[in-house]
Amino acid sequence: MPASGAVTRSTLRQQIADALRDEVLAGRLQPGQEFTVKQIAEQYGVSATPVREALVDLAAQGLLDSDQHKGFRVHRFSVDDYRGMVEARALIVDGLFQRLADHVKAVQGAPLVSVRRRAEEAARAARAGDLDVLIGYDLRFWRELSGFVANRYVAEFLHRLRVQAWVFAVPHLRADDRAATWLWCGHEDLVDAVTAGDPAAVTKAIDAHNAHALAWADHLERTGPAHRPDGRQR
Is 92 found in the same domain as 41? Answer: no
Summarize pLDDT for 21-40 with one digit per residue, the tens: 999 999 899 999 999 999 99
| Residue 199 clears pLDDT 50, i.e. is over it | yes
Asked whether residue 229 is assigned to any structural domain, the reply reads no
pLDDT class for 147, splitting at 50, 70, 90?
confident
Cα angle for residues 126, 85, 190 (degrees, 5° grid): 45
135: left (phi over 0), alpha (psi -120 to 50) or beta: alpha
SS3 state of residue 192: helix
| Residue 209 clears pLDDT 80, i.e. is over it | yes
Determine the Cα–Cα distance for residues 35 and 54; give it in Å rounded to an integer. 13
Is 199 found in the same domain as 146? Answer: yes
Is 30 found in the same domain as 134? Answer: no
Summarize pLDDT for 92-122 with one digit per residue, the tens: 887 777 665 455 555 555 568 888 999 999 9
Asked whether residue 109 is assigned to any structural domain, the reply reads yes
**Distance from chain centroid for Cα 38:** 27
pLDDT class for 73, splitting at 50, 70, 90?
very high
pLDDT class for 141, splitting at 50, 70, 90?
very high
> Residue 228: its pLDDT value, please?
44
Per-residue pLDDT, averaged over 164-188, amounts to: 94
pLDDT class for 4, splitting at 50, 70, 90?
very low
Is 199 found in the same domain as 108? Answer: yes
Q: What percent of the chain has pLDDT over 90?
A: 65
Summarize pLDDT for 159-168 with one digit per residue, the tens: 999 999 999 9
Number of domains in the chain: 2
Domain interval for residue 37: 4-74
- Among residues 74, 89, 122, the one where a domain terminates is 74
Is 87 found in the same domain as 48? Answer: no
- Among residues 74, 101, 120, the one where a domain terminates is 74
Residue 72 DSSP label: E
Determine the Cα–Cα distance for residues 218 and 17; give it in Å rounded to an integer. 32
Is 168 found in the same domain as 106? Answer: yes
| Residue 2 clears pLDDT 50, i.e. is over it | no
SS3 state of residue 65: strand
Is 95 found in the same domain as 25? Answer: no
Exposed/middle/buried for residue 125 (C-beta within 10 Å: 0-12, 13-18, 19+):
buried
Is 185 found in the same domain as 108? Answer: yes
- Among residues 39, 74, 109, the one where a domain terminates is 74
Summarize pLDDT for 219-229 with one digit per residue, the tens: 999 987 554 44
Determine the Cα–Cα distance for residues 41 and 129; give it in Å rounded to an integer. 34
Asked whether residue 157 is assigned to any structural domain, the reply reads yes
Is 31 found in the same domain as 95? Answer: no
> Residue 168: its pLDDT value, please?
96
Query: Among 77, 217, 97, which residue's Cα sits nearest to residue 146?
Result: 97
Per-residue pLDDT, averaged over 204-215, amounts to: 94
> Residue 149: its pLDDT value, please?
75
